Structure 1
Amino acid sequence: MKSSKYNIFIENGNNVLAYNSRTSALAEVSYPKYDTILKILENPNNECDEKLKQDLFYGGFLIQDDFDELASIRHDMYRARFSTEILQLTIAPTADCNFRCPYCYEKDVLENKVMTDDVENKIISFIKSKINSIHTLSITWYGGEPLLESKRIDRMSEQIIEICNEHGVNYDAGIITNGYLLTRKNFLMLVKNKVKTIQITLDGTEETHDKRRYLKDGGKTFSKIIDNLYALVDIYKEKKEELPRINVRINTDRNNKDEAFGLLKYISNSPLSKFIALDIAAVYDPADVEHLYTLTLEEYSKVKNDFVDLCRDEGFQISNTLFYPKRVNAICVCDRVNTGVIGPDGSVYKCWEEIGDINACIGQVGNNTVLNLPERYYDYMLFDPTLSEQCSNCNILPICMGGGCPLRRSRDKVKNCELQMKNITSSILKSYQLITSSN
Structure 2
Amino acid sequence: MRESRYNVWVRRPDAAYVFNSRSGAMLRIPAEHHKAYHAFMAGDTGAPCPPSLLANLIAGLMIVRDDADELQSLAKRYHASRNTTRNFALTVVTSLGCNFSCPYCFEEKHPSLLDGDVEAHILKVLDAQLPHIDSFHVTWFGGEPLVGKKSLLRLSDAFIRRCDEAGVHYDASIVTNGYLLDEATCRELATRRVTSVQVGIDGPPAVHNQMRPLSNGRGSFHTILTNLRMAVDQLNVTVRVNIDGGNASRVEELFQLLAKEGFGGKLTVYPGQIVGVQQNVRAPSASYRGGCFSKAEFAHEERRFLDLAAQYGLAKPRLPSPTGAPCTAVRVNELVVGSRGELYKCWDSVGDQNEVIGDIRDHASPNGRLAKWLSYDPFQNEECRGCIALPVCMGGCAHHAFDKLLHENRCGTFRHTFQEQVSRFVDFAEQERLSGLMSIAALSRTVETAEAPELPTEPFRATV
Q: TM-score, normalised by structure 2?
A: 0.83
Aligned to 2:61: 60
- Deviation larger for 82-91 or 281-290: 281-290
Q: CA deviation at 1:278?
A: 2.1
Residues in 1 aligned to 2:220 and 2:143: alpha-carbon distance in whole angstroms: 16
Q: Taking CA–CA contacts closer than 8 Å with sequence separation of 6 or more, which of the two structures ends up with the larger relative contact order?
A: 2
Relative to 1, partners in 2 of residues 1:392 and 1:185: Cα closer, same or farther, differing over 3 Å?
closer
Aligned to 1:4: 4
Equivalent position SS for 2:300: helix
Q: Which amino acid aligns with 2:240?
A: R
The answer to whether structure 1 residue 247 and structure 2 residue 245 are counterparts is no
Relative to 1, partners in 2 of residues 1:367 and 1:289: Cα closer, same or farther, differing over 3 Å?
closer
The answer to whether structure 1 residue 228 and structure 2 residue 227 are counterparts is yes
Equivalent position SS for 2:362: coil
The answer to whether structure 1 residue 131 and structure 2 residue 130 are counterparts is yes
Q: Is the 8 A contact 1:2 1:44 kept in 2?
A: no
**Which residues of structure 1 form unaligned runs of 5+?**
237-242
Residues in 2 aligned to 1:245 and 1:292: alpha-carbon distance in whole angstroms: 31
Aligned to 1:92: 93
Q: Which amino acid aligns with 1:111?
A: H
- Deviation larger for 121-130 or 175-184: 175-184
Correspondence list, 1:152-301, <5 A: 152-230=151-229, 232=230, 236=233, 243-273=234-264, 275-286=266-277, 293-301=291-299
Question: For 1:409-432, what per-residue CA distance to the aligned partner results, in whole angstroms no more than 9, with x for missing partners?
Answer: 123323455954431111111121
Residues in 2 aligned to 1:292 and 1:284: alpha-carbon distance in whole angstroms: 9
Q: Which amino acid aligns with 1:275?
A: K
Q: Is the 8 A contact 2:16 2:29 kept in 1?
A: yes
Relative to 1, partners in 2 of residues 1:394 and 1:163: Cα closer, same or farther, differing over 3 Å?
same
Equivalent position SS for 1:90: strand
Relative to 1, partners in 2 of residues 1:123 and 1:421: Cα closer, same or farther, differing over 3 Å?
closer
**Which residues of structure 2 form unaligned runs of 5+?**
279-285, 433-437, 439-464
Aligned to 1:240: none
Aligned to 1:413: 407
Aligned to 2:461: none
Aligned to 1:397: 390
Residues in 2 aligned to 1:146 and 1:45: alpha-carbon distance in whole angstroms: 63
- Deviation larger for 14-23 or 209-218: 14-23
CA RMSD of aligned residues (A): 2.7
Equivalent position SS for 1:92: strand
Equivalent position SS for 1:142: strand
Question: For 1:183-228, what per-residue CA distance to the aligned partner results, in whole angstroms no more than 9, with x for missing partners?
Answer: 2222221122111112211111211111111122212222222233
Q: Is the 8 A contact 1:3 1:42 kept in 2?
A: no
Residues in 2 aligned to 1:356 and 1:344: alpha-carbon distance in whole angstroms: 9
Equivalent position SS for 2:361: coil
Residues in 2 aligned to 1:44 and 1:389: alpha-carbon distance in whole angstroms: 35
Q: Is the 8 A contact 1:200 1:246 kept in 2?
A: yes
Residues in 2 aligned to 1:116 and 1:395: alpha-carbon distance in whole angstroms: 46
Q: Which amino acid aligns with 2:304?
A: D
Question: For 1:95-147, what per-residue CA distance to the aligned partner results, in whole angstroms no more than 9, with x for missing partners?
Answer: 111111101111xx201211111011000111111111111111111111111
- Deviation larger for 213-222 or 4-13: 4-13
Residues in 2 aligned to 1:208 and 1:309: alpha-carbon distance in whole angstroms: 21
Relative to 1, partners in 2 of residues 1:74 and 1:44: Cα closer, same or farther, differing over 3 Å?
farther
Equivalent position SS for 2:408: coil
Relative to 1, partners in 2 of residues 1:88 and 1:45: Cα closer, same or farther, differing over 3 Å?
farther
Q: TM-score, normalised by structure 1?
A: 0.88
Residues in 1 aligned to 2:375 and 2:163: alpha-carbon distance in whole angstroms: 31
Relative to 1, partners in 2 of residues 1:80 and 1:280: Cα closer, same or farther, differing over 3 Å?
same
How many percent identity over aligned positions? Answer: 27
Aligned to 1:142: 141
Q: CA deviation at 1:41?
A: 3.1
The answer to whether structure 1 residue 365 and structure 2 residue 356 are counterparts is no
Q: Is the 8 A contact 1:325 1:424 kept in 2?
A: no
Equivalent position SS for 1:216: coil
Aligned to 1:239: none
Aligned to 1:356: 351
Residues in 1 aligned to 2:4 and 2:120: alpha-carbon distance in whole angstroms: 52
Count how many residue pairs are aligned between Structure 1 and Structure 2: 423
Q: CA deviation at 1:156?
A: 1.1
Aligned to 1:73: 74
